[in-house]
Amino acid sequence: MQFEAFPRYIEELSREISGRGNFMIPDYQRPYKWGIDECETLWNDIKDAFKEKQSESHFEYFLGSIVTYKNSETKNLDIIDGQQRITTLTLLFRAFYYYFAKEAPGEEQKGYLKNFGRFIWELDLGTDKIVFDKPFLKSEVITDQDGECLQKILTENLDFEYLEKSNSRYAKNFLYFKKAITDFINNTNNDETSGVLNFPKLCNTILGKTFAVLFVTCDSVNSAMTIFNTLNSRGMPLSNADIIKGYIYKNTKSKEEFAKKWKGISSDFEEYNSKDDMSVLFIQAMHVIRAINNYTDTTTLSVLDFFTKKKKGSFGYNDGYLAKQEKIDELMEFVEILVYFWANPQTYLSKKAYRYFNVLSLHRNDTWKFFVAFLVWRNKANFIRDEFNENFSKEFEIYLLDLLKAVTAKFLSNDASTNTIKELVFKMNAELNKGIDFSYKEKIFLPDGFMDLFSSSDKNRRLDTKKVKYLLYLYAHIYDDFSSDIENYKLEVEHILPKTWQNINFDEWNEESHSEYLEQIGNKILLNKPTNIKCANNFFSLKQDKYKDSKNSQEVKDLGNRENKIWSKADIEARNRDIEKALRNFIAK
């Protein structure tokens, strides 16, 4: 394994690539992840270093290392470590270039244009002019949507209408730097080192001998992968999915085909889930593999250890899921199906199964998803992308109902800790795999007085709003036997008896009785947000017309059509009993 390592100032980096091809983000890397916070940190570091430079001319600032591999086939420099910095610096320099080209053009600015521009684009050797259709930065891992955005940023003429509408990190970060430069020139932050007179000095500092990196090149792709994985083990902020990707890439026979598949899966995943990374899919796959091996222990390995380290019960590693081609293919096919399923479950489930799914989705503990993932695995042979298949959905309608009953029973018994639900789900997975009836059915127990959790006037005993919403949503479905759709994400908890006491004694109500009955579950329903706003803090008789809205649940519409215009203590008590009876019957049958 051979390396070359040299210190380089930022403006010298273009010399490393000039005439060699491109800075390439290879397909075994992760996508660009830096956001506004990281850009702000970089910008503040640059300003702080500039300030230090004014008093200490020999001051230098180390930006970190950039590790590359000389790819003899493509003639590119593949970025092994440092792509976040390289990409972000490219966006920063593009913002500087825009300023000098469009906001402060002139003969005296041509030097800045050339120096900032040659970090981004090739220079024509004959004319010494920038070639805008030859940017240095390329990526094999970038999604199609981000790729289009980056291309628009690295063209000569910027489309700001497009960039301002884009959700891409590339657009957001570029626009951040553009504004940061303007703020610096206008002295927006009242910093003594900022302002129009100091701006040329800032540019000279950035382009001069201040900001340095350690530039490392290695001699082979194997060396590159060794460095890639070693850097991660030393604390580099890679996700588990990034590392798993690296292992698979190293072992798969068709690297190009795998990279293409991963890119497509990653792009589809980010479209429906921007807050997580793909590690969640491999965690689900891990629990599926454990289920088909009838493993129910709630003490589990990390997903990375499960797939990469030889340990007792680590079926993923022992079965070669990241090393054997047939297992790699099986794993990636399943992960791809999971992405399609979670992105649009209503496409693949019957209406009733999807209603069970929606109630479960209100449960704050996501462990129930491991059972759903196992159902996907069991039925993957019947999966058709973007199409409903009755054979695929059949088991979901049966077993999601069982899961919903089991989770709700734990919930109502005030025994729904993460570990308890894990134990339940892992046992259900293994029992389903072995083809035996779920043992949980023998253990369902709803204690007397469980409704106090939802009806107590004592704030210290009541369940929080999210748990109440879960129960009300389930009851709304039980009310009409899961026969109609209710959009859970738009629903809000509504107090039928007005939440704010209006200091007016009416019917049987006074301030004391209002306080006693207000938070009881029988006085709460779920309304869509527009209806809830219209109801405001009105009395029941004035709310009834709003309850009739066709978008509300059947129970709410029935309340709207009720002849009795008064909402009494007896009504709340009766509804408490109705909810309790409905829940007991639902779980018992």
* For the ranges 123-132, 303-312, 345-354, 463-472, the one whose mean pLDDT is highest: 345-354
474 and 436 part of one domain: no
pLDDT reported for residue 76? 83
* 319 compared with 16, residue with greater pLDDT: 319
- Which residue type, as a one-letter code, is found at position 580? E
Do 20 and 76 meet the contact criterion of CB atoms below 8 Å apart? Answer: yes
- Residue 43, pLDDT > 60, answer yes
Question: What's the pLDDT band for 401 if we cut at 50, 70, 90?
Answer: very high
Residue 498, pLDDT score: 85
Domain-terminating residue out of 441, 465, 489: 441
Categorize the per-residue pLDDT at 467 as very low, low, confident or very high, splitting at 50, 70 and 90. confident
Over residues 5-28, mean pLDDT = 74
Looking at residue 375, its amino acid is L
Q: Of 193, 209, 225, which residue sits at a domain end?
A: 209
243 lies in some domain? no
**pLDDT surpasses 50 at 8:** yes
pLDDT of 235 higher than 50:
no
Residues 158/98, Cβ–Cβ less than 8 Å: yes
**How many structural domains is the chain composed of?**
3
DSSP assignment string, 519-548: TSGGGEEEEEHHHHHHHTT--HHHHHHHHT
Top pLDDT among 215 and 161 is at: 161
- Record the tokens describing residue 143, joined without a space: 């999604």
Task: State the DSSP code for 108.
Answer: G
Of 160-174, 482-496, 505-519, the least confident: 505-519
H/E element, 42: helix 36-55
Residue in 442, 317, 418 with CA at minimum distance from that of residue 370: 418
In this structure, are 265 and 405 located in the same domain? yes
Same domain, residue pair 387 and 531: no
Q: What is the pLDDT of residue 224?
A: 61
Regarding whether 147 and 10 lie in a shared domain, the answer is: yes
Q: Which residue would you say has higher pLDDT here, 111 or 504?
A: 111
Within a 10 A sphere around the Cβ of 397, how many other Cβ atoms? 18
Lowest mean pLDDT among 172-186, 278-292, 494-508: 494-508
Residue 202 lies in a domain: yes
**Alpha carbon distance 216, 69 (integer Å):** 8
Could you tell me if 258 and 279 lie in one domain?
yes
Helix, strand, coil shares of the chain, percent, nearest 5, are: 55, 10, 35
State what percent of residues in the chain have pLDDT above 90: 39
**Are both 347 and 478 inside the same structural domain?**
no
For the residues 112-139, what does the mean pLDDT come to? Answer: 87
The residue segments making up the domain with residue 181 are 3-19+33-53+84-209
Kindly tell me if the per-residue pLDDT of 491 is higher than 60: yes
Q: Mean pLDDT, to the nearest integer, of 424-444?
A: 86
* Residue 320 is assigned to a structural domain of this protein: yes
State whether 203 and 336 are in the same domain: no
Q: If residue 6 lies in a helix (H) or strand (E), which one and from where to where?
A: strand 3-9
Q: How many residues does the chain have?
A: 589
Report which of residues 232 and 179 the model is more confident about. 179
**189, part of any domain:** yes
Instruction: Give the residue-averaged pLDDT of 203-212.
Output: 90
Q: Are residues 539 and 580 in the same domain?
A: yes
173 plus 294 within the same structural domain: no
Residue bearing tokens 């001051």: 59
Asked if residue 447 is part of any domain, the answer here is no
Tokens 């960039």 correspond to 163
Percent of the chain with pLDDT over 70: 88
Please report which confidence band the pLDDT of residue 158 belongs to, taking 50, 70 and 90 as the band edges: very high
Residue 135 neighbours by CB under 8 Å, 6+ apart? 22, 90, 120, 121, 122, 154
pLDDT mean over 277-302: 91
Q: What is the mean pLDDT of the chain?
A: 85
Asked, for residue 225, whether it belongs to a domain, the answer is no
What mean pLDDT comes out for the span 525-544?
Answer: 86
In a domain, 377, yes or no: yes
- pLDDT band, very low/low/confident/very high, at 418 (cuts 50, 70, 90): confident
Q: Tell me: do 513 and 561 sit in the same domain.
A: yes
Domain membership flag for residue 239: no
Q: Which of 66-75, 219-228, 546-555 has the lowest mean pLDDT?
A: 219-228
Confidence bin at 148 (pLDDT 50/70/90): very high
Closest CA to 328 of 255, 248, 265: 248
341 and 474 in a single domain? The answer is no
Q: Compute the average pLDDT of residues 4-26.
A: 74
Residue 360 is predicted with a pLDDT of 94
Calculate ∠ Cα 478-482-488, nearest 5°.
Answer: 85
Measure the N-to-C terminal CA separation of the chain; round to a whole number of Å: 67
Neighbours of 240 (CB within 10 A): 21
Question: Can you give the pLDDT at residue 55?
Answer: 83
Which residue, 441, 472, 493, sits at the end of a domain?
Answer: 441
511 and 425 inside one domain: no
- Cα distances from 518 to residues 58, 117, 136, 496, 525, in angstroms, run 70, 66, 65, 8, 12
